[in-house]
Amino acid sequence: DSGVTQTPKHLITATGQRVTLRCSPRSGDLSVYWYQQSLDQGLQFLIQYYNGEERAKGNILERFSAQQFPDLHSELNLSSLELGDSALYFCASSLRDSSNQPQHFGDGTRLSIL
């Protein structure tokens, strides 16, 4: 158990809809990262938050947004969903925003767009 909790585990929805994925980081971790994994590929970085503030953006679409709340949990919002958004979405956390610290991952949310 990594200590990172993601809900829900599965989401099935239709094109054009909006969903929210939730992540609770490990106790004490200030950094939260979101990654997308499509079709057994490697994980692609979407966005990072550190102590409530956006720190870095990766390949995140404009239809997607995220935030980190004062209790450090984070939400990833996906809107105007398309078939190609079907993927596994992982959240990871680390203690600080510095080098030489591994990120610890949740079990992911599997999003299926019908």
Partner 1 sequence: DQQVKQNSPSLSVQEGRISILNCDYTNSMFDYFLWYKKYPAEGPTFLISISSIKDKNEDGRFTVFLNKSAKHLSLHIVPSQPGDSAVYFCAARGKTGRRALTFGSGTRLQVQP
- Which residues would be at the binding site for partner 1 (CB under 8 A)? 2, 4, 6, 31, 33, 35, 40-45, 48, 55-56, 58, 90, 92, 94, 97-100, 102-108
> In terms of residues, how long is the chain?
114
CB of residue 106 vs partner 1: minimum separation in angstroms? 5
Distance (Å, rounded) from C-alpha 56 to C-alpha 94?
14
Distance of CA 80 to the CA centre of its chain: 17
Report which secondary-structure segment, H or E, holds 37: strand 31-37
- State in angstroms the smallest separation of the CB of 69 from partner 1: 20
Nearer to partner 1, 31 or 113 (CB): 31
Cα(112)–Cα(93) distance, integer angstroms: 24
Record the tokens describing residue 27, joined without a space. Answer: 């106790």
Q: Closer to partner 1 at the Cβ: 75 or 107?
A: 107
Residue placing its CB nearer to partner 1 in the complex, 8 or 16: 8
